[in-house]
Chains A and B, each alone.
Chain A
């Protein structure tokens, strides 16, 4: 579950300028890493719904996909919306062609008992991994509370170190996600706020490079279609898919069911709605870009074109 780590990109950007994209004869390379929202792609591959011209490049974390996109090794990747925007900010134009899932409770703010309201947060030490989606979650929480980053003491650390920091009493609150959240809760942390209270804000998406979108639209259409076929199996045939996901992620089926409960898996029509020109995704992306620029997490807004592109969505599915 390292999907949300984001590395400094500038060195990678420099590397990318010297590397070209893939030639059309090569398969479309898609960076993907384990996350419930991206399981559709694994399922599609398992059932043979992924055409030969698509190649899943299985990573351990999102950071590798991001590096791959910037270096030009990948043509597409499964990322969070903020990651997609940061790739754009780093100078690689990308488009979002599918929303794979929307967080409805996967991202949480855990606090020590006694902190009962968001208004109790000022002055507290809040652990957060700013370069990952947790950063976005934190800004959303602060927005919801009417606070700024100056009102709290931000402790920037990787999510997997939060438990230790909690145990040592260094932090009063932690912005994190499953399964770290469960571990902290086991240590007495209380869930004060989660992404279910931020409806349709934290998105996981499929992004493709502008170059691939221009030169290989058919492959991208096939990729999007494969995602929806996988998703269809995942949702309709839950009795089968939970075991397959459990096998891949090496967790129990019960935990798969639990994590599936924290995300919403938008089907085709919902995707059409999200990716519309005036849809939710473009709106959230704009707001998010403003926040990322304000907080200095993104250098520049390189591309003014809308990031969402619904043109690759299939009209219907079998």
Chain B
């Protein structure tokens, strides 16, 4: 508290000293700067009374200084003036350069008995200038003006001309003369064609020099009732009187109240041509004007921020942003699509490349692309060795149909290029010399809108099919041309197909045979199908009849055919006509068992029958007798009459013996003049003796041979077999043989029984 007290005391002492210093200079001096818009002598003359009035009213010494705009700027910069009165445009420039307390009052002018607080511009030219009447006529003319920062002397006119489409700043020669008097003089002397001055000046000059009225004319004169001056432009607030911040507020208040209190009829006002001062006007319209003209202080192009642009062109910005976003989205979408397309392409290429079906692309007659399968098919190791060549390059000279490969390939290519889809079989020659059959399909591919299409070519390897077809053809040929009859039936045995041999053997035509049963053994019938289906095959011989009734023997082999599921589907039968073989066989059999001369069984058949008879006798329990017969004195007959006579005799004797023996007995010629007989079912020896005696007697009867009557006898030996005897046929025959020898020895033409010795 004590410290503060001392500080206050010190400060009040300092203030006292200061006020004493000011007081020492007697009266306070304030400087009023007035812009010299006309000659400064004139300004001093007019405004000194105002300065004096203010001095009186405020009790301070008001010093007047008439200054050009540049001088005033300098004085302001040095703070050498306290108040100033200037035109609104200049005021705006000053205000933009330094801080001001503000406008104290706005000047009111007086003229023609009217008061106005408005100022405008006047556009003058000499009266004789008939070519200058409107604002548009000013284009290209030389113009005198006091300077750029004159509201009524430049800017007001410039705006009107700009609105009328005349940009004087660019298209006119401007002459800056510093004040209005010089402008008038310049126009009057003809140095410039047009002059710009502020409102009020013209009236002042006319008052001073009445002759001027006829020499000058006003362009674009406005009709403004109640405005005391001629004007060529719209109007703006009059000059402001401004105080500077360094002036203390008390002084400002005193000056302001003195200004506002100034009456129009006061000598000070009268001298300056004023009607006094009004409360400060709104200078926004002047700001607007300088802004439009881009004049100081608004000559700098306003710094446009992004926000301003956004605000001003919101619609455009939004539209462009939306378009940009759409563009981005579209390009993203497109690039994604492109990637997908590329991937699709790769996948497709990989698919085609690895596709097992050979595929190729032909452009301008030569291969331009092919897949792995195609290379493998024609046996080339790489695509490079294939591409760039025509089809004919790896084909044999001519195709199976006889056409030269080159010509055929060209024909196909031409057809496909014309829009057809062509199919053809084709043979390729592999480097290793083997041939590949393919079924080739060629189709046009329109890669571009116009022009020759490429040709897509696909191959299908038909080498195996081709082989199979060959086999089939061969099989068919076999079927057709076989000597054996071949037939195929369904599972039920009905004939489905036959070959020509079938018809030939059976006598049935194709139509008759189909649907019926094939020829079959009578006794077994369709059972053979069962056998064949069970065992897979049946074969056998059988006799049957042809359609024309002739008997034939057939040798049939019937096979069953099963399908993939193992189910019986068909039978295939092969048969041949073996009738002739059978007959030959029969004759051979006869030749083997019978004597060709006498047609009696031979030794072979005899021993066979003997065995059978022995077996039968053993079963039946009866006796049999085996008789050995040898002709006596046969040789002499043979020798005397020849072999034919001997043979005839043998036949005669044999016939007689055969007729003598019973049916069930067997007589055989063992060779030469030896015969043997089996007499079955011998009840007793007496009957046998009777039979044998009768034999001897029929033999001994004379026979007529070779025109001679011949008599022979026979020696008979026999043996008996009784059931239970352990003896075979051969032994029996030997026993009979021995007995026959016994009879020979006993004198021939007799009969001996085998005696066990």
Contacts and interface: CB of A to CB of B under 8 A. Distances in A.
Interface of A: 47-48, 236-240, 242-244, 246-247, 250-254
B542 interface: no
Nearest to B314: A315
Which A-B residue pairs are the 6 nearest by beta carbons?
Answer: A243-B224, A240-B235, A239-B118, A253-B226, A247-B225, A237-B285
A243 B163 contact: no
Contact of B117 (A47, A239, A251, A254): A239
A251 B358 CA distance: 105
B619 interface: no
Contact of B234 (A237, A251, A252, A253): A237
A244 B284 contact: no
B226 A252 contact: yes
19 contacts: A236-B284, A236-B285, A236-B288, A237-B285, A239-B117, A239-B238, A239-B285, A240-B120, A240-B235, A240-B285, A243-B227, A243-B235, A247-B223, A247-B224, A252-B225, A253-B225, A253-B226, A253-B227, A254-B226
A134 to B, nearest CB: 28
A240 B284 contact: no
A141 B284 CA distance: 39
Given A244-B224, A247-B226, A253-B225, 8 more contacts: A48-B163, A236-B288, A239-B117, A243-B222, A243-B227, A243-B235, A247-B224, A247-B225
Do most interface residues of chain A lie in helix, strand or loop, or is the interface mixed?
helix
A253 B118 CA distance: 12
Nearest to A254: B226
Contact of A246 (B119, B163, B225, B282): B225
A206 to B, nearest CB: 24
B277 to A, nearest CB: 15
Nearest to A249: B225
Interface in B312-354: none
B406 interface: no
B281 interface: yes
Nearest to B231: A243
Interface string B284-296: 1100100000000
Contacts of B227: 243, 253
A258 to B, nearest CB: 13
Contact of A243 (B118, B282, B288): B118
B237 interface: yes
Interface centre among B117, B285, B288 (most CB of A within 10 A): B285
Contacts of B223: 247
Nearest to B237: A239
B753 to A, nearest CB: 163
B428 to A, nearest CB: 79
Interface in B193-237: 222-227, 234-237
A62 B246 CA distance: 57
A163 to B, nearest CB: 25
Contacts of A239: 117-119, 235-238, 281, 285
B226 A243 contact: yes
B163 A47 contact: yes
Interface string B108-135: 0000000001111000000000000000
A35 to B, nearest CB: 17
A35 B119 CA distance: 26
A253 B141 CA distance: 35
A47 B234 CA distance: 10
Contacts, number: 52
A144 B104 CA distance: 44
A236 B282 contact: yes
A243 B281 contact: no
B161 to A, nearest CB: 13
A236 B235 CA distance: 11
B323 to A, nearest CB: 23
Nearest to B120: A240
Given A48-B163, A243-B235, A238 B282 contact: yes
Contacts of B120: 240
A32 B284 CA distance: 29
Contacts of A246: 224-226
Nearest to B119: A239
B225 A237 contact: no
Contact of A237 (B222, B224, B236): B236
Contacts of B225: 243, 246-247, 250-253
Contacts of A254: 226
A244 B284 CA distance: 19
Interface centre among B119, B223, B226, B288 (most CB of A within 10 A): B226
A146 to B, nearest CB: 42
A240 B234 contact: yes
Contacts of A244: 222, 224
A126 B166 CA distance: 59
B626 to A, nearest CB: 152
Contacts of B222: 243-244
A175 B224 CA distance: 33
Contacts of A250: 225
Interface string B150-177: 0000000000000100000000000000
A2 to B, nearest CB: 21
A244 B235 CA distance: 10
Contacts of B236: 237, 239-240
Contacts of A236: 282, 284-285, 288
A253 B163 CA distance: 25
A252 B226 CA distance: 6
B394 to A, nearest CB: 78
Contacts of B238: 239
Interface centre among A236, A239, A251, A252 (most CB of B within 10 A): A239
A294 B120 CA distance: 54
A139 B248 CA distance: 57
B222 to A, nearest CB: 8
Contacts of A247: 223-226
A230 to B, nearest CB: 13
A48 to B, nearest CB: 7
Nearest to B117: A239
B279 to A, nearest CB: 13
B322 to A, nearest CB: 20
Contacts of B237: 239
A254 B226 CA distance: 9
Nearest to B224: A243
Contacts of A243: 118, 222, 224-227, 235
Contacts of A238: 282
A238 B234 CA distance: 11
B750 to A, nearest CB: 168
A195 to B, nearest CB: 26
Nearest to B288: A236
A253 to B, nearest CB: 4
Contacts of A242: 226
A15 to B, nearest CB: 37
A246 B226 CA distance: 7
Interface string B265-292: 0000000000000000110110010000
Interface in B495-527: none
A236 B222 CA distance: 19
A47 B163 CA distance: 9
A252 B235 CA distance: 16
Contacts of B285: 236-237, 239-240
A236 B287 CA distance: 11
A242 B115 CA distance: 13
A254 B224 CA distance: 13
A244 B226 CA distance: 9
A236 B234 CA distance: 12
A47 B226 CA distance: 20
Contacts of A252: 225-226
Nearest to B312: A316
Nearest to A237: B285
A77 B148 CA distance: 43
Nearest to B233: A240
